[in-house]
Amino acid sequence: MKKQKDTKLRIDAYRKVGTSAALQIPIYFDKLPSEIGGCLVRDSHIVISEEEDYQTQLFVYCHELLHYIFNHIRRGAGKDRVLWGLAIDHVVNNLLTTVLELESVNWVEQHRFILFRDIPDGPAELIYRELQRLVDKTKKEGKTEFKFGGKTIRLVPLTVDGIRPPKHFTEPLPISTGSLYEFGNHLKSQGSVSADVLREIDQGYKSQVPWERVIAARILSFIGKKVATPTYTKLPYYQIACDVRLAGNYKKEFNLVTAFDTSGSISQQELSKFCAEYQRVEKLVSEHWVYVIDADIHAVLHNPSYDELVANLRGGGGTSLAPPFEDVEKRKLKPDLFVYFTDTFGTFPQKTPTYSVIWIVVRTFQTLDIRVPFGTVYYID
């Protein structure tokens, strides 16, 4: 295996990607199996096929750098490796062609790199979810292939237009989070950046913390603003003549309502993850009402335990978003916050509630441009 001696490849990569990581990561050249795709990571080095021409070597080096800058390996934990590989390859190759203009789209396709057409540029989680949905749909229909982004994807063995996608390796590289910051600034210096690309950069930053903790932290922050209200104790009249009150302990009264739309795109696994995080939230909540709903309310739980909450997450019918709000009014509950897990595909209540509402929505191809009549939308990527 030969180590890179001259600096031309590094400097050209630095000019295109704009991050100092391009100048720091050790590069080696070696003969690689054809299924690798021209590049792999081994022993904290990027290994590039010595049989490729310089143009291809530069492309695959920048390609591999972007995978690690965006923290794609960690973000893919627990996901189907092949589908995740297709998603992250599309994101990276799209950046290298349409944004950084390293090569043309036709050049990428001629060299059999993954690049889909007429789909969002990112984040990778969005594309992965759509691929997963189409794979599940194709299997249920008893079919063996489907169309996606202008290409035919066959299931067994998985191929894209008859080509098996390259394998992705999971060895770490010594790239810091500062590289993503450098890359983001470099993109901005190139001109306008699409919202999809900005979401991919944002996911790179957020990937250090699981999404369920991010959402729980936002709710905790909201609760914290509400519970910091001091109580007051009035002194007995025989101790002091005037009416004086002394500051006492802080109140910790916070009423929370949560609704889980079990008909939508949020999976049982994702709901269970958030339920686990709710154990942190519960310590600051005095009253917690939980609704499990699709077209109808399946369960209404009052201060449920974690096990009780998870056991009742069932459904599968259509969607109507209004019943929990109607039941809150019927029971004369006075929530400080209403948190709704849903894809928002349903009938909203006609009346805007007086309390704060947070909508937790999984970002998919169908939920990119949702509009809600009230409340704040937080996306899960």
Comparing 297 with 276, the larger pLDDT belongs to: 297
Which amino acid is it at 333? L
Comparing 279 with 328, the larger pLDDT belongs to: 328
pLDDT on residue 180: 84
Please give the structure tokens belonging to residue 332.
């004369």
Of 234-238, 337-341, 372-376, the range with the lowest mean pLDDT is 234-238
pLDDT digits (tens, 9 = 90+) for 294-328: 878 989 999 988 888 888 887 666 678 999 999 99
- Do 63 and 82 meet the contact criterion of CB atoms below 8 Å apart? no
Comparing 290 with 247, the larger pLDDT belongs to: 290
pLDDT on residue 264: 65
- Do 279 and 247 meet the contact criterion of CB atoms below 8 Å apart? no
Identify the band that residue 194 occupies on the pLDDT scale cut at 50, 70 and 90: confident
Rounded Cα distance between 313 and 174, Å, is 41
Rounded Cα distance between 94 and 68, Å, is 16
Tally the residues of the chain: 381
Coil, strand, or helix at residue 309? helix
The bridge status of strand 245-250 relative to strand 230-234 is antiparallel
Identify the band that residue 284 occupies on the pLDDT scale cut at 50, 70 and 90: confident
Please give the structure tokens belonging to residue 325.
């709000």
Comparing 189 with 328, the larger pLDDT belongs to: 328
What domains can be seen in the chain, in order of their start residue? 2-206 (no CATH), 211-380 (3.40.50)
- Residue 119: is its pLDDT beyond 80? yes
Please give the structure tokens belonging to residue 36.
């690798």
pLDDT digits (tens, 9 = 90+) for 70-106: 888 878 878 898 999 999 999 999 999 988 888 899 9
144: Cβ–Cβ under 8 A, 6 or more apart, which residues? 138, 154, 155, 156
Structure pTM? 0.71
The bridge status of strand 255-261 relative to strand 337-341 is parallel
Which amino acid is it at 136? D
pLDDT on residue 374: 94
Rounded Cα distance between 146 and 172, Å, is 33
